[in-house]
Amino acid sequence: MDGSHLPRRTLRSAAELIGEGLVPAGAGEAIETVARRYAVAITPAMAELIEHAADPIARQFVPDAAELTTTPDERADPIGDHAWSPVKGIVHRYPDRVLLKPTHACAVYCRFCFRREMVGPGAESLDAAELTTALDYIRAKPEIWEVILTGGDPLILSPRRLAEIVQALDAIPHLGVIRLHTRVPVVDPARVGDELVAALKSDKAVYVVLHANHPRELTDTALVACRRIIDAGIPMLSQTVLLKGVNDTAETLEALFRGFVRHRIKPYYLHHADLAPGTSHFRTTIAEGQGLMRQLRGRVSGLCQPEYVLDIPGGHGKVPIGPNYLDGDNVTDWRGNRHAYDQAAATKAL
């Protein structure tokens, strides 16, 4: 966008998007239809980055009429959260960890979101009684070692409320790790002040996982926000969604993952896009994703390598789907050349 005219507040309607030049006037009716079904929010920090309608930042946040097309394989709950929710706000898919979703609101709403049917400004957050019930569930399950705060975005909570949740989790003896998944340091970096960082203080290990998909999201202000978290002793990881037209080239992913590592953020997951309604225009094939991971194997340091994963539709869990380099007694290197490796001979001494 033209830096001389930037929005001062989050954009939420077709009229506001048209007014800022992010959507052509003739598309207003279709965009309003999308906005009635799926939440829309573009923060000033993200609007400032948009250069034209087809750029990778616009593609992530500006609603598109293509979202009104739902394919037969798409699902309202693509990774099966509901099937594993014993009480409101908890998803207990794996024995040793749970998701805790205190809010379903976000600072921005990604057009490819796998929870797009559940999140939005009017979506339910946990009230005091519901939060108590969710925490009691965690307290009663000694096998739970890790709690992942998600939603929605937990960093849109007030520092006071966030601190109350972290302190409650800190007091549960069998927990070892508190993890928070967020986009806030990138999309609304001004939120990450001293009070919010202090709210994350815990005797448990606390990790913050940053969601960013394109190297241009790592602005100077975003990196200052991340540095506040990291300098407070809180390690940061990253998660990225592989998106057609946003980051589906080796060059873009290389720049993104190097950008993370340069600023002490460890790439963690590269997600294959989920089967959320109205998102088929974002999905690559798994073979394309595997090809990109093969290219990255030789292009960037091991520190820059995330795990390429798929959440199996229906709630069956997350699995790695990266390329396989071993085929019998042959190993393929990052250049695609095959080499003999006699497994039987290599293990005879054992």
pLDDT in tens, 324-333: 999 999 999 9
Q: Is 201 part of the annotated catalytic residue set?
A: no
Choose, from 75, 94, 161, 264, the residue flagged as catalytic: 94
Would you state the pLDDT for residue 240? 98
Chain position carrying tokens 């990881």: 237
- Between CA 38 and CA 70 the distance in angstroms is 13
Averaged pLDDT of the chain:
95
Angle between helices 250-262 and 286-299 (to 10 degrees): 50
pLDDT in tens, 75-95: 999 999 999 999 999 999 999
Q: Is 88 part of the annotated catalytic residue set?
A: no
Choose, from 101, 110, 183, 191, the residue flagged as catalytic: 110
Q: Are 334 and 297 in contact (CB under 8 A)?
A: yes
Q: Is 207 part of the annotated catalytic residue set?
A: no
Question: For the CA atoms of the chain, what is the radius of gyration?
Answer: 21
Would you state the pLDDT for residue 3? 47
Q: Which tokens is 233 given?
A: 């002793």
Choose, from 274, 283, 294, 308, the residue flagged as catalytic: 274
Amino acid at 332: T
Q: Reply yes or no on whether the pLDDT at 241 is more than 60.
A: yes
Q: Reply yes or no on whether the pLDDT at 6 is more than 80.
A: no
Q: Alpha helix locations (H) across the chain?
A: 14-19, 28-37, 44-47, 56-61, 128-139, 159-170, 184-187, 194-199, 220-231, 250-262, 286-299, 343-346
Q: Is 226 part of the annotated catalytic residue set?
A: no
Report the percent of the chain where pLDDT is more than 70: 97
Q: Which tokens is 318 given?
A: 């997350």
Q: Using alpha carbons only, what angle is made at residue 289 by residues 47 and 189, rounded to the nearest 5 degrees?
A: 25
Residues 6+ apart with CB under 8 A from 302: none
pLDDT category at 16 given cuts 50, 70, 90 is very high
How, if at all, do strands 265-272 and 236-242 pair?
Answer: parallel
Q: Reply yes or no on whether the pLDDT at 160 is more than 70.
A: yes
Closest to 157 measured CA to CA, from 184, 186, 137: 184
Q: Is 318 part of the annotated catalytic residue set?
A: yes
Amino acid at 31: I
Would you state the pLDDT for residue 4? 47
Would you state the pLDDT for residue 5? 54
Closest to 115 measured CA to CA, from 15, 6, 39: 39
Positive or negative torsion for Cα 136, 141, 142, 145: negative
Positive or negative torsion for Cα 314, 316, 322, 324: negative
Q: Is 106 part of the annotated catalytic residue set?
A: yes
Q: Reply yes or no on whether the pLDDT at 122 is more than 80.
A: no
Mean pLDDT computed over 279-306:
97
Choose, from 59, 97, 101, 216, the residue flagged as catalytic: 97
Would you state the pLDDT for residue 7? 66
Choose, from 59, 101, 115, 183, the residue flagged as catalytic: 115
Amino acid at 242: L
The domain locations on the chain are 14-68, 82-322
Choose, from 93, 101, 111, 179, the residue flagged as catalytic: 93
Choose, from 55, 139, 318, 325, the residue flagged as catalytic: 318
DSSP string, 113-127: -TTTTT-STTSPPP-
Q: Are 72 and 304 in contact (CB under 8 A)?
A: no
Choose, from 59, 106, 207, 269, the residue flagged as catalytic: 106
Q: Is 59 part of the annotated catalytic residue set?
A: no
Choose, from 77, 113, 137, 183, the residue flagged as catalytic: 113
Would you state the pLDDT for residue 79? 95
Would you state the pLDDT for residue 345? 87
Q: What are the two backbone dihedrals, phi and then psi, of residue 232, each rounded to the nearest 5 degrees? A: -85, 5
Residues 6+ apart with CB under 8 A from 253: 240, 247, 270, 292, 296
Provide the residue count of the chain: 350
Mean pLDDT computed over 46-58:
94
Residues 6+ apart with CB under 8 A from 137: 86, 87, 90, 92, 98
The 307-311 sheet, strands edge to edge: 90-94, 97-100, 146-149, 177-182, 205-211, 236-242, 265-272, 307-311, 318-320
Q: Is 136 part of the annotated catalytic residue set?
A: no
- Between CA 324 and CA 322 the distance in angstroms is 7
Query: Higher pLDDT residue, 124 or 10?
Result: 10
CATH code for the domain defined by 82-322:
3.20.20.70
